[in-house]
Amino acid sequence: MSSHAPKSSNHTKSILIGSAALAVALIAGLLYLMSAPGNSQGGDFADGSAAAPHTGEAGVYDGRFENDGSENGFDGSVDKQQLIRDYKDWAKYPPNSRPLLPSHRDQIEYRRIPVAMQKMPVKIDGELKPSDYSCLLQPEKHTITEGEAMRVFLSCHKTGEQSKREIRVADYRIEARAGERKFAPVKPTVNDAGLNGDAVAGDRVQTFEFRPRSSDWADMHLTVNFEIEGDESGAKHSLRTHFFASPVAPARFTGNFREEFREGSLIVLAEVEVEKPGNYTIQANLMTTSDEPVAFARNDANLKSGRHFVELEYYGKILRDRDLAGPYRLVGLRGSLNTDVIQPEMLARPPAEVQKFLRNIRDDRPKRMVIPYYTKAYTTKEYDLALFTEAEYTSPAKERRLTELQALP
């Protein structure tokens, strides 16, 4: 038997830096702040977690690392000047307003959960060996929100053949995990008869359809045990996958927008109707009218119940450097409520209160509640690129970081 679960995007990459204690703290903090667009955890320069980024076109992180543990890597020595150059190149744009390139698939295809076809092993003489079959258990998306169902597709084929093989599902189970709490959600249906979400009857794709109850708010882990037609080993194979269910909307996008040209940058304001107050993250992509990616923006905002316009800033220098004129289309408007048991406001209390809270904490719920995705686009006015600022972003936090870097030994 074998199992496979999809890798979640935007994984945290930690770096061990062998240096003096002060240098370790400063560098680790700086490396945490410099990352790919869209991973911001809040704060003036908290934009994700990764090693020192390699910056490519328009100064955006392009998926590579300057210090990757090989030549001139973090092996106990730090190239201070290179670190400063990397930081300056990254920080010429605001942490929550970043260039968006075609290579940033996690941001552009923000609902997709890529899963690789897996070669199924069989046990022969007590040893696991590759079989002649490969299978795929593919969720349609990584998250479902209020009113949505999740479909998961299971298919297999023989190596070297294009046609799919018949599958017999022996049994399957789904487990919900909300923090440390586990429970049994409603069970999915499965068929290849053109029913309950199955698109084509008899196409040899088994479709699991999961329709959550309002209480099924959790990470869902689906395990399927099955047999493949023609597999002479007679083995029962197993695959696993996971997705997130957020069946109660904490807020909704109303579809109302405004836009402003402010201090050389484009500001788009999206209206949100909030049901559950709290700390929200709102994000959206900016594209050309021909769907070429331009920029990404996010805003971390504490919102009370009611209607609010949330600002998304597309920094002018990004638009100038990308050399893509408007009008622009704002797409992929999405957001979530931070429901982590540890909230920033709690950590700001007196130390004694924080310690008491942490001693009694119960991790019994997911860390986010997702707003239903806004599937339409908003088109901006036409702008002359020459109007947008050419100036690099500045802030007190940026200057403090540079001072700290210069002070490194």
Task: Please provide the CATH number assigned to the domain covering 125-245.
Answer: 2.60.40.1940
- Would you kindly state where each structural domain of the chain is located, as residue ranges? 21-105+397-406, 125-245, 251-391
Bridge-based pairing of strands 237-245 and 143-144 is parallel
Tokens matching residue 237? 């194979």
Q: Do domains 125-245 and 251-391 have the same CATH topology?
A: yes
Give 267-297 pLDDT, tens digit per residue. 999 999 999 999 999 999 999 999 999 999 9
Half-sphere exposure of 290 (CA within 13 A, CB side): 3
Q: Is 92:392 a contact under the CB 8 Å cutoff?
A: yes
What average pLDDT does this structure show over 135-159?
96
Residues facing residue 335 across a β-bridge = 282
358 has pLDDT over 90? no
pLDDT score recorded for residue 326: 84
Rounded mean pLDDT, 116-120: 91
Domain 251-391 of CATH type 3.40.120.10: no
Which pLDDT belongs to residue 353? 80
Distance between CA 150 and CA 185 in Å, rounded? 13
Q: How high is the pLDDT of residue 160?
A: 82
Question: Regarding beta strands 167-178 and 218-228, do their DSSP bridges make them parallel or antiparallel, or are they unpaired?
Answer: antiparallel
> What is the pTM (predicted TM-score) of this model?
0.79
- Which of 21-30, 155-164, 271-280, 350-359 has the largest mean confidence? 271-280
Task: Quote the tokens at residue 326.
Answer: 């408007």
The H or E element spanning position 6 is none
Taking Cα atoms as reference points, which of 22, 16, 53 lies closest to residue 37? 53
Q: Are 383 and 266 in contact (CB under 8 A)?
A: yes
Asked whether the CA dihedral 62, 43, 302, 354 is positive or negative, the reply is positive
CB 234 within 8 A of CB 265: no
- Give residue 64's pLDDT: 35
Q: How many contiguous H segments (helices) and E segments (strands) does the chain have?
A: 7, 21
Taking Cα atoms as reference points, which of 227, 214, 216, 212 lies closest to residue 151? 212
